[in-house]
Amino acid sequence: MNKFETQAIRVQAERSHNREHSVPTYMTSSFMFDDAEHMRAMFAGEAEGNIYSRYSNPNTDELVKKVCLMEGAEAGFTTASGMSAVFNSIVPFLKAGDHVIASRAVFGSTHQILTQILPRWNIAFTYVEPDDVGSWESAVQANTKMLILETPSNPGLALIDLEAAGVFAKKHDLIYCVDNCFATPYLQQPIKYGADIVCHSATKWMDGQGRVLGGIIVGKAELMAEIKVFIRHSGPAMSPFNAWTISKSLETLAVRMDRHCANAKKVALFFDKNEEIQRVLYPHHPKHPQYKLAKKQMTQGGGIVTFEVVGGYERAKAFIDEIKMISLSSNLGDTRSIVTHPASTTHSKLSETERFSVGITPGMVRLSVGLEHIEDIIADLQQALEKSKVVITKQMASSLT
Ligand SMILES: *Cc1c(COP(=O)(O)O)cnc(C)c1O
């Protein structure tokens, strides 16, 4: 029972007296006690079990147990969204006067936490370059407490050397936290490289079907004990229904990711040969600047392909407008392929300079490659490239007259 796929399927909450094969949803806000003494013991932490669904629930417990096994972690929590997981991975360890080091290429809302929320509490941050761990030394201060990383990054697919980051974190006694959303534990396990905390947006590949929001935090038991205080009393609890849904989804994570990765690789190769594409980024494509590192720490390249269409901002928009089948939506990690334009949407809060510094150019498009037949995905991309070229050429001609 120690193989990834087997655990993803066979780790289940206890069956009820109905002996159901598929775990039921425990849609209950609270649980009952045998008597006053039992209730006292439960509240004192002297007896095992569930008290109240803000603290724990059989469905969220099952999900935590499963993800702990997948990531090689000791303990963890579920939260209502990926952002509540990121927030609660950071805030419990900081107080006024502290400092954190973060990779420059972090998710848009993580950037907002670092730049807009933490400074109100007098917590400072320094951004470091994801692809150059050697340059991080100068960012360390006497009050630095944490290292906050995301790899591969959304949407630029910048990678961080998790092993080198682990050595760095250990040397400076920093709590080492990784947002592992893009890779999933099936492709990459940061704890192997010394990460103390791993967080996820389960909304993405973990659910994988665009149905529910969710977040997960796993890691060292002693750190989870600190997070527990924040989770219990600020209440970002995941709904039992969402936990049930995501736990069910994890049963097929391996087969889904195998196909997502295979399709994404084919899309990357198609773009590489297409002259309407200026640049393509895919971790397991030999032209990715960190290809060797991607091969070392990720078993496959993931389901996201980021690319730049010839013709910049206007062409990228025209391309997206000509797409027929692929969805225009802000999610990713779905059975349905999805395109987005990061510069005008998810990363529009960043300044142009900040966007450039994390590799987000005006013509960049992010494609979350779905599970439709690869020939249909490529055909849609191909026709949108052709039509958008005609549109742009006409626009240019009319602007000249
Ligand atoms: C989407 C995402 C998040 C936020 O997750 P939500 O479930 O939308 O709150 C955090 N980190 C990364 C890398 C993401 O892609």
pLDDT tens, position by position, 191-241: 999 999 999 999 999 999 999 999 999 999 999 999 999 999 999 999 999
pLDDT band at 1 (very low <50, low <70, confident <90, very high): confident
Nearest Cα neighbor of 110 from 235, 196, 199 is: 199
Q: Which residues contact 9 (CB under 8 A, 6 or more apart)?
A: 251
Q: What one-character-per-residue DSSP string does 21-69 give?
A: SSPPP---SB---SSHHHHHHHHTT-S-S--BTTT--HHHHHHHHHHHH
Q: How far is CA 90 from CA 109, 147, 170, 227, in A?
A: 13, 9, 17, 9
The answer, yes or no, to whether any atom of ligand 1 lies below 6 A from the CB of 347, is no
Give the model confidence (pLDDT) of 143-194 as tens digits.
999 999 999 999 999 999 999 999 999 999 999 999 999 999 999 999 999 9
**What global pTM score does this model have?**
0.96
The answer, yes or no, to whether any atom of ligand 1 lies below 6 A from the CB of 83, is yes
With residue 148 as reference, give the H or E element that holds it: strand 144-150
What is the reported pLDDT for 382?
A: 98
The answer, yes or no, to whether any atom of ligand 1 lies below 6 A from the CB of 178, is no
**Residue matched to tokens 């250990």:** 170
With residue 327 as reference, give the H or E element that holds it: strand 327-328
Of all protein residues, the one whose alpha carbon is nearest to atom 11 of ligand 1 is 107
> What domains appear along the chain, each with residue ranges and CATH number?
4-250 (3.40.640.10), 253-400 (3.90.1150.10)
The answer, yes or no, to whether any atom of ligand 1 lies below 6 A from the CB of 388, is no
Nearest Cα neighbor of 326 from 282, 363, 364, 369 is: 369
Give the model confidence (pLDDT) of 274-308 as tens digits.
999 999 999 999 999 999 999 999 999 999 999 99
Q: Are 25 and 59 in contact (CB under 8 A)?
A: yes
Cα atoms in the Cβ-side hemisphere of radius 13 Å centred on 127 = 14
Of the two residues 357 and 323, the one the predictor is more confident about is 323
